[in-house]
Amino acid sequence: MTTPESDSVRDTTRGAVPEPVLDEDGVRLTIADAVATVTLTRAEKRNAQSPAMWRALARAGRSLPGSVRVVVLRGEGPSFSAGLDRRGFTPEGFDGEPSFLDLARMDDTALDAAIAGYQEAFTWWRRSDLVSVAAVRGHAIGAGFQLALACDLRIVADDVRFAMREPGLGLVPDLTGTHPLVSLVGYARALEICATGRFVHAEEAERTGLANLVVPAAELDAATGDLTTALLAAPRDAVVETKALLQGAVNRSYEDQRAAERAAQARRLRDLAGLGD
């Protein structure tokens, strides 16, 4: 008997369900040829996140073989991720982890290092040699919103509800979400979304660029599989060069971007002609 989760893995990879490469602390990594699927597996907690989950997500990134071209991120159950596990907001925090009070008592260097360690779960999704796709349904709140923002692309179900709730708790979004949020929707809208903590629903997400595509919830896995197939159609090196060009465009002048395009094209032409290094 199959489950919705196992069916979605089949749809995404277009093949049999592979054995997990990693399956711990609420994170499962499977790899089928050029496609890796990272699944949040705490459906009973709406995939609420913890430092242990963040370490597992970072390990998943380090576990990818060079053959992987596309990484799909998804959550089991009706919600992508409802944010930080509520235990994180208690004085005791998580077992074996520093509580918020413990973090506050650290010196600047130690506190910076602790938060940087948490951020590692969110940074590798934009590597230039990969294209990452978040398949998002239901709640994507706080850390869940930031995890979706960590990916290159987002396909969302029509029941999606994004929200950035950290300011309402007296905190800031510190899991790498502020940069992509401003890049996608602009400063003013990003500020309003964060400061109010309101929900962003599917129609607004698509209209403002948060979502590349909105589909009915029942079609999310199939649409993700279709996008994955399309992303694999072009030669890998051309996609890698193009992604690097686009990532760098924000910080380059028009003339510098022209030069970067010429240099990238020269590399591609020589490679195609068999004259590369």
Write the CATH number for 52. Answer: 3.90.226.10
Inside any domain, residue 277: no
**54 pLDDT tier (thresholds 50, 70, 90):** very high
Same domain flag for 198 and 160: yes
Alpha helix (H) ranges present in 63-107? Answer: 100-105
Which tokens hold the place of 200? Answer: 């962003």
Where in the sequence is the domain holding 253, given as residue range(s)?
236-272
**101 pLDDT tier (thresholds 50, 70, 90):** confident
**264 pLDDT tier (thresholds 50, 70, 90):** very high
Same domain flag for 133 and 251: no
13, 36 in Cβ contact below 8 A?
no
Same domain flag for 244 and 201: no
Inside any domain, residue 21: yes
Share of residues in the chain with pLDDT > 70 (%) = 94
Same domain flag for 52 and 142: yes
Per DSSP, what are the bridge partners of residue 81?
Answer: 140
Same domain flag for 133 and 16: yes
Which tokens hold the place of 74? Answer: 């998804």
pLDDT digits (tens, 9 = 90+) for 184-214: 999 999 999 999 999 999 999 999 999 999 9
Same domain flag for 152 and 256: no
* Counted domains in the chain: 2
Same domain flag for 140 and 191: yes
The rounded distance, in Å, linking the Cα atoms of 177 and 122 is 9
Residue 8 pLDDT > 70? no
Inside any domain, residue 42: yes
Same domain flag for 181 and 107: yes
**223 pLDDT tier (thresholds 50, 70, 90):** very high
Give the 3-state secondary structure of residue 193: helix
Same domain flag for 171 and 194: yes
pLDDT given at position 276: 75
pLDDT given at position 15: 56
Same domain flag for 80 and 202: yes
Same domain flag for 32 and 146: yes
pLDDT given at position 92: 82
